[in-house]
């Protein structure tokens, strides 16, 4: 079994944006008047970002006073690795457009929708601009909402598994390593972060078959571990 076959196995930029938004528990919102940190106040329904804002907040007051009922806004999501690792910020997503009132209320909560005009993701040091329609036609990755819990469990309770998986990287990646962290996971496989006395480096370990849901991850990990057992040589950490 080839651990790193010559095939592209990465999320598209649109899928990555949807995945970050789906998994995020908070966001930052900037208007012409102020900046806000909103926790557990957003959902994505039918391709639209929806905010549930209590009536007694400054954002609700700003929205009520917005000319023509539309408020220009920049929404930012930060994707942070769920494990202890160097440089934990993995990606930043931005959506900019207009906030409008949905016409619905939920008690003392104002329901707002963002009509995005632009979307972008900062990934591997580059900013990629993505067509908004493409973003909302895409689905989040199958593991997006499960990834944090699964990686945290692996890092906290199954360091032996991480150690064995780490042996699948090339020798030059393993040489001089002082720690390895399960840094990211999607339907295609793992990204492991190899940390050295100075600096770090990532390696991609692909599942033999992309998973369709979280229930299939265990079987794919077992296949990777079986291959790791056949690998010769000792780990260097």
Task: Count CB atoms within 10 A of the CB of residue 122.
Answer: 17
Question: Does residue 189 share a domain with residue 91?
Answer: no
> Is residue 99 in a domain?
yes
Minimum mean pLDDT range among 98-107, 170-179, 194-203: 98-107
Comparing CA positions, the residue from 143, 50, 88 lying closest to residue 38 is: 50
70 and 88 both lie in a single domain = yes
Specify the pLDDT at position 102. Answer: 80
Residue 41, in any domain of the structure: yes
Of 137, 157, 191, at which residue does a domain stop?
137
For residue 37, is pLDDT > 90?
yes
CA distances from 59 to 31, 45, 145, 150, 190 (A): 9, 21, 27, 35, 39
Indicate if 171 and 119 belong to the same structural domain: no
Evaluate whether residue 235 is within a structural domain: no
Range of the domain at 97: 13-137
Query: For residue 72, how many C-alpha atoms fall within 13 Å in the half-sphere facing its CB?
Result: 3
Whether residue 123 sits in one domain with residue 21: yes
The domain tally of the chain equals 2
pLDDT of the residue at 8: 61
CA angle 174, 191, 45 (to 5 degrees): 170
Taking the model in full, what pTM does it have?
0.88
């Amino acid at each position: 079994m080839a651990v790193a076959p010559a095939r592209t196995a990465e999320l598209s930029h649109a899928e990555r944006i949807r995945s970050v938004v789906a998994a995020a528990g908070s966001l930052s919102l900037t208007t012409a008047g102020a900046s806000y940190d909103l926790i557990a106040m957003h959902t994505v329904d039918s391709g639209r970002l929806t905010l549930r804002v209590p009536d007694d907040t400054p954002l609700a007051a700003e929205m009520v006073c917005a000319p023509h009922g539309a408020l220009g806004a920049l929404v930012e999501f930060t994707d942070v690795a769920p494990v202890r690792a160097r440089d934990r910020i993995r990606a930043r997503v931005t959506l900019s457009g207009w906030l409008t009132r949905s016409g619905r209320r939920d008690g003392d909560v104002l329901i707002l929708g963002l009509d995005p005009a632009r979307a972008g993701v900062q990934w591997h040091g580059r900013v990629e601009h993505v067509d908004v329609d493409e973003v909302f036609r895409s689905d989040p990755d199958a593991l997006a909402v499960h990834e944090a819990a699964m990686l945290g469990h692996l890092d906290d309770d199954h360091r032996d598994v991480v150690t064995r998986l780490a042996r699948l990287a090339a020798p030059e990646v393993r040489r001089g390593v002082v720690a390895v962290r399960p840094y990211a996971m999607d339907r295609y496989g793992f990204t492991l972060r190899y940390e050295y006395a100075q600096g770090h480096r990532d390696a991609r370990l692909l599942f033999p078959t992309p998973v369709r849901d979280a229930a299939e991850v265990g079987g794919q990990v077992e296949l990777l571990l079986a291959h790791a057992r056949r690998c010769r040589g000792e780990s260097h950490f």
